[in-house]
Amino acid sequence: MILETDVMQIIVYAGNAKSLAMKGIKEAKDGAAAEAKKNFEEAKSNLKIAHQQHTDILQRFANNPDEPATMFLTHAQDHLMAAITAVDFAKEFMDLHEEMQELRTLIKKENN
């Protein structure tokens, strides 16, 4: 039986991952690369926990095909997919912001 608390773990950790990824993007935009990377690593850690919880639930379904899926599980899977996307994009945006900071620094040096 899939317990609501098991499903809720996906929602909690996926939500944390998404929030931390978005925070990392903002920090990178503000020029705080070290903080951005710290939050990004924490986002990946939370995402890993959410993904493992999801895998565990799927294994239980595989071992008990009569287990009914619920809308709550579907909702959790939606959160997980949104978090995966946010973390993937966060890495790209953070890299872009870091590169833009480097270019701004070079331009300032050339203009002085």
65-105 pLDDT, tens digit each? 888 788 889 999 999 999 999 999 999 999 999 999 999 99
- Catalytic site residues? 75
Nearest to 78 by CA among 43, 107, 50: 50
pLDDT at 4: 86
Cβ proximity of 42 and 75 under 8 Å: no
Q: Domain 4-111: which topology?
A: Methane Monooxygenase Hydroxylase; Chain G, domain 1 (1.20.58)
Place of tokens 């939606």: 78
- The predicted pLDDT at position 61 comes to 86
Q: Is the pTM of this model over 0.75?
A: yes
* Annotated domain spans of the chain: 4-111
